[in-house]
Structure 1
């Protein structure tokens, strides 16, 4: 596999758009594990990857925000959802989360894709988690309708990037996610972690600390009441076969 080129948001977004058009999106699965039982598995997060012309794989962090600004995030999210649903159909024991941009919340085609999957196989929908990312601000009313539609289909709803971007306590209280994912930038601050854990307890949400790389941090987060961990310590993202 070729080394990743230096970041260039405009170029990376163009590569991603071309890959989407050609059906060359891939998913890298990263495990989320219980903080007190790292030998077990809660679920996998499906992270989008696209291939450059020279064979390197670019992560969504390189192009997602640019695609949002260009109005192309819904296309990315539909493609990622379709791939994740396919994985759930093939592996009946899997539980997978897939990211959705705030700009996709009102996308009719994304919703119809979920509806069709749930109607065809309710068990697939029950093992799906939808993570609302917070790099763009979602309309509060539309986000609540989106959250309720996901719940009606039997899937779980997660609020991603809590403590960064637009995700805050007010948003979390309004949306009452099943899973509250704590941004890595928040996880170094014990007081903020404790506040997030207390907030999540109000609506009985599972808390996941992101970006965990060291065992001392894992022990500290577990002692603060965080339920699950995600990061290099729990496992690197691994791409599904093309």
Structure 2
């Protein structure tokens, strides 16, 4: 297990759970998304401070990736708790264009010990340019590409192409949307051409685990996780993956 993604949900007056797709675009249009993202990060830090086995990823809008007063208290909490910072992955979604200060924001998080992921790679705002500019620790390939494998004759070639691009821009690549054993095997076969012994073939989706209110790290005496500090970036911005690795783990 690389880490767990903390998913934001709101409860409507009817009791129905609302996913981020229902309300994040509105918050982005109103300029309120930074306040929401800061609140979600605060909840995640609360959880990790109380449960040392928690290794969490949180999503923030690309609009929130800027250094300003909204983040001052969060940066101070991370500075005061390096163990917590080392267990946090900040996933920047590409539902909006990146702010000009995004590079400085990412650099600040890294100096504090956090890892940064670029979410929805391949379908967002200028994905390739953003990945090259930010040099994220993790790239998450949007589920669109895996779904296309069984829908189009060119789907597999498209997924392999996007995997190759991502592998040259981040040391860890995760394929999203893995919902069946067949999809897992396809993704693993393509990923193994670019993987290294340190990062294996990371996947995320319902086949790996369903969204749940149950927090397993609260009940494990010795949680089995991958130490993120072992997944180093190497010396250069780009680090091609070796095709000699045998497929392995899951995200």
The answer to whether the superposition gives a TM-score over 0.5 is yes
Mapped partners of 1:213, 1:117: distance in 2:
36
* 2:79 alignment partner, one of 110, 119, 131: 119
Q: Is the 8 A contact 1:184 1:209 kept in 2?
A: yes
Mapped partners of 1:195, 1:110: distance in 2:
38
Normalized per residue, the structure richer in strand is 1
Give the superposition deviation at 1:72: 1.2
SS in 1 for 2:143: coil
**What are the superposed Cα offsets for residues 157-198 of structure 1, whole Å, 9 maximum, x if unpaired?**
000010112142222112111110001112233223222322
* 1:104 alignment partner, one of 42, 45, 64: 64
SS in 2 for 1:186: helix
Structure 1 pair 205–167 and aligned structure 2 pair: CA distance change class (3 A): farther
Unaligned runs of 5+ in 1: 1-40
Moved more, 201-210 or 86-95: 201-210
TM-score normalised per structure 1: 0.77
* 2:128 alignment partner, one of 169, 175, 182: 169
Determine whether 1:82 maps to 2:56. Answer: no
> Which residue is equivalent to 1:201?
167
Aligned structure 1 segments of 4 or more residues deviating by more than 6 angstroms:
none
> Which residue is equivalent to 2:113?
154
Mapped partners of 2:126, 2:143: distance in 1:
13
**What are the superposed Cα offsets for residues 74-95 of structure 1, whole Å, 9 maximum, x if unpaired?**
1110111001111111221221
Mapped partners of 1:191, 1:113: distance in 2:
45
Q: Is the 8 A contact 1:82 1:113 kept in 2?
A: no
Task: Report the count of equivalent residues.
Answer: 200
Structure 1 pair 137–149 and aligned structure 2 pair: CA distance change class (3 A): same
Q: Is the 8 A contact 1:101 1:132 kept in 2?
A: yes
Moved more, 147-156 or 165-174: 165-174
Structure 1 pair 204–137 and aligned structure 2 pair: CA distance change class (3 A): closer
SS in 2 for 1:224: helix
Residues 21-100 of structure 1: pairs in structure 2 closer than 5 A: 41-100=1-60
Q: Is the 8 A contact 2:184 2:203 kept in 1?
A: yes
* 2:157 alignment partner, one of 174, 178, 191: 191
SS in 2 for 1:164: coil
Give the number of the structure with larger relative contact order, counting CA–CA contacts within 8 Å between residues 6 or more apart.
Answer: 1
